[in-house]
Amino acid sequence: MPYKVEIANTKSNNEFLQKLPKEILPEFAKRLNILGVKPYLGRSVEGPISAYIYAFPLNHMNKVYNFLVSYKINENKEIITITDFGKTIINYS
């Protein structure tokens, strides 16, 4: 069974998602759902805030969005929780 993928309900996460172009949401969801099947796909970061970092690009309207998310894994409950989102946008020249 794949792990359940969830999002931490915070102001910054909600604001980030609200600003995403609606057209890319299905593909965006698909890329994040991969984490449910491959929980350890991201790079592990140790320290005061231990987390996994996962990066993926999406193309949309002559732009490349380089997305980045941090997430935590709850192995007992088999849940992935996205803790922060980030992105950079590169325009095609």
Residues that bind another protein in the complex, under the rule CB under 8 A: 4-13, 17-18, 20, 22, 25-26, 28-29, 32-33, 45, 47-49, 51, 53, 55, 68-70, 72, 79, 81-86, 88
Minimum Å gap between C-beta 59 and another protein is 18
Look up tokens 């996205």; give the residue.
82
Minimum Å gap between C-beta 40 and another protein is 17
Q: Which amino acid is at 60?
A: H
Q: Rank residues 67 and 92 by Cβ distance to another protein and give the closer one.
A: 67
71: exposed, middle or buried (C-beta count within 10 Å: 0-12, 13-18, 19+)? Answer: buried
Convert 35-48 to b/e letters by CB count within 10 Å (16 or more is b): bbeebeebeeeeee
Q: Rank residues 61 and 86 by Cβ distance to another protein and give the closer one.
A: 86
Minimum Å gap between C-beta 48 and another protein is 4
- State whether residue 77 is helix, strand or coil: coil
Minimum Å gap between C-beta 64 and another protein is 16
